[in-house]
Amino acid sequence: MAPENASTLSFEKISDAVRRLCDGLPKLQAQARLLQPDDLEGQEWFELLRQKLVPQLGQQSWLVVAVVGGTNIGKSVIFNHLAGHRASATSPLASGTKHPVALVPEGFPDRENLAAVFPDFTMKKWTDAESALQETDDSLLFWRTADNLPSTLLVLDTPDIDSDARVNWVRADAVRRSADVLIAVLTQQKYNDAAVKEFFRKAGREDKAVLVVFNQCVLPDDEQYWPVWLETFCRETSIKPDSVYIAPADRTAAEQLRLPFFERQWPRPAAGSSTELNGSDPFKSPSRDSQQPRDLREDLSRLKFREIRIRTLRGSLQQLIHPVSGIPQHLKRLSKASEALAKTSQRLSADSVLKIRDWPTPANTTFVDEIRIWWKERQQGWAKKINTFYDVMGKAVLVPLRMARDAIQGEPIPPMDRYREAEWSAILLTVEEMFDKLQWMADNGDALVRQRMELILDAASRTRLIETLRQRHRKVDFSAEIRSIVAQEMEVFSVDSPQLFQMYRQLHNVSAAVRPMTSVVLFSLGMGPVSETVAPFVANAAASAVVHVVADVATGATTAVAGETAVSGMASAGSGMLQTWFHRLHSVFTQRRVEWLTQVIRDDVLGTLPEELQAAAELTSSAEYQNVAKALKDLQDLMPSTADSEPAA
């Protein structure tokens, strides 16, 4: 493959990875919100991604040149000289420029989207020099075309990088990230300013091309001093200037756009290096120092466009993937926070918090009654007639027995009323245990969830939950719940175990045939007819009357079907299967009731906290994390290919 094609392919892949990062990072932040990740906005690597790499890694064929520097040092004067007219307002007083202004080549707005090039600014057509002086919280960028600009250059004047107004720093930083070339305007008063040096340290890490203009120099006196000032500036910022100019302190020339710029060699040659010195120069300036003014605009047009472009893009990419200050560190912090939260997540999920012990179960009679009703609705022929006869007879016989029992013991509490009371007690114990555990976790658990837990553990929250549970619990129709479960499980039973279900059908015929004997025997024992007493009794003793009858029928012991046999131990494997099924009715009912309580607690107390904890604890295995990690790995693998490559023009 030709080098040019390989270069183009390499940068296409890099551009794709960069866009995947830009799309994936906000999704990862949302997934990790419980871990309280650092905001993406304001992190240098993310702003470079958003403001430099995404807009400029495509088929860009231009350079952004920004005039930058501290307060009241003549930035706008330098900018106006580049423009060739008084484009930007100037003042010898305090800082003026509040918003960046841009000169763009003719036809550029038709070819490119300026808003995409400078994503943090609202574009405004630039109509007069005073536009950028207006006070507003909105970040504006004023632009106009300039017919004297090379087609490959965009030139900007920026707000002061050491302004008292922090918003000006933010705007200047946004321009810096977008820029390829910085014209650093320095003076004796500003070269060592802390804010100025910090601004250029960032530019140095991004490997921006920097042209230094030492402005307001007293010439020739300052010829011996500016190298000292610049050496200090470079040492403090790690900037390596591509070119250096000095300009005299001449306000009249500045206002009339006649300010001369003298190029100076940098770095300066070692003292005593005669081959580099001009003997006629009283300050022993290097012979390559310009004694004639230079045209800054012309020098800019001669910049090595492709070299600077790849250099600044590569510098921004290196900051993006820097192991300490870039995306890898961000992912590392998220991973560590996720790992630390994993244990808390396991303890705090609703399923582990609600350890419900000894949940009550309804009396077996309630299930047996519903089974009988369900089955009776499906009986046919003589079996239905004889069972109906004994049901009616049983109820009539039991009337005096019930009256006698009620007179001695009082009217009995309905089974489901008794269950409702028992379940409410279990609910109160469960809620108390849950709040105790949550309090312990808040006191001893991860600080990330402590703030959320404090809201949950508020005394008013506990009171509200109990009152909500009380009101909803009173409205629960337990009989309807059991009826629904029996119908559901009987249908499943008939499909999953057709042979046993068929035996169940045969059983009813057998039970109907032997019921007179069983009824008499048991009634003589004071237990009442089968339909009222035997089935509940056997159910409490084992699983249900039909379990044992089926066992005996299945093993051929039909002659033994009687009261004694009905309450005997298991007689076959079929009996065990039916008993297991009966116990399943209890399990399904209990499961539904516990799910009901869990849902109320989730809705009114925990909310989405358990799910958020789980998602945060498993963050590194999530698609959001893996997508960002994959894009980062692709960038890291592609970086070596940019060393000797150029992005497609």
The H helix count followed by the E strand count for the chain is: 27, 9
Using DSSP's 3-state secondary structure scheme, residue 140 falls into strand
Looking at 92-106, 298-312, 347-361, which range is the least confident one? Answer: 347-361
The model's confidence at residue 178, banded by pLDDT at 50, 70 and 90, is very high
State yes or no: pLDDT of 304 exceeds 80. Answer: yes
Structure-token match 């004994």, residue found = 390
User: Average pLDDT, stretch 547-554?
Assistant: 26
Which long-range contacts does 163-167 make (Cβ < 8 Å, 24+ apart)?
A: 163/71, 163/95, 165/98, 167/137, 167/139
The pLDDT value given to residue 441: 74
Report the pLDDT value the prediction gives residue 366, as an integer from 0 to 100.
83
> What percent of the chain is predicted at pLDDT more than 90?
36
- Nearest Cα residue to 550 out of 588, 586, 491, 497: 497
Confidence of residue 524 (pLDDT cuts 50, 70, 90): very low
Q: Is 436 exposed, middle or buried (0-12, 13-18, 19+ CB in 10 A)?
A: exposed
CATH of domain 45-328: 3.40.50.300
pLDDT at 261: 95
pLDDT of residue 105: 92
Alpha carbons 567 and 552: distance in angstroms, whole number: 12
Query: Bridge partners of 142?
Result: 101, 124
Q: By the 8 A CB rule, do 180 and 208 touch?
A: yes
What average pLDDT does the segment 423-448 reach? Answer: 82
- Could you tell me which residue, 182 or 36, shows the higher pLDDT? 182
Residue indicated by tokens 């070596």? 640
The domain segmentation of the chain, as residue ranges, is 45-328, 352-607
Its sign, for the CA torsion 268, 270, 271, 277, is: negative
Q: Is 256 helix (H, G, I), strand (E, B) or coil?
A: coil
Listed range (21-30, 50-59, 507-516, 611-620) with the worst mean pLDDT = 507-516
Here the tokens at position 48 are 């470079």
- Cβ neighbour number for residue 87 with a 10 Å cutoff: 23
Look at 189-203, 301-315, 442-456 and tell me which has the smallest mean pLDDT: 442-456
Is the per-residue pLDDT at 17 higher than 60? yes
H-type alpha helices, 112-250 = 114-117, 166-178, 194-205, 226-237
Asked if residue 329 has pLDDT above 80, the reply is yes
51-88 pLDDT per residue, tens: 999 998 876 678 999 999 998 888 889 998 888 887 77
- 561-588: pLDDT as tens digits: 223 333 333 334 444 555 666 677 888 8
User: What is the pLDDT confidence band of residue 8, given thresholds at 50, 70 and 90?
Assistant: low
H or E element, residue 68: strand 63-69
Tell me the mean pLDDT in the region 265-275: 71
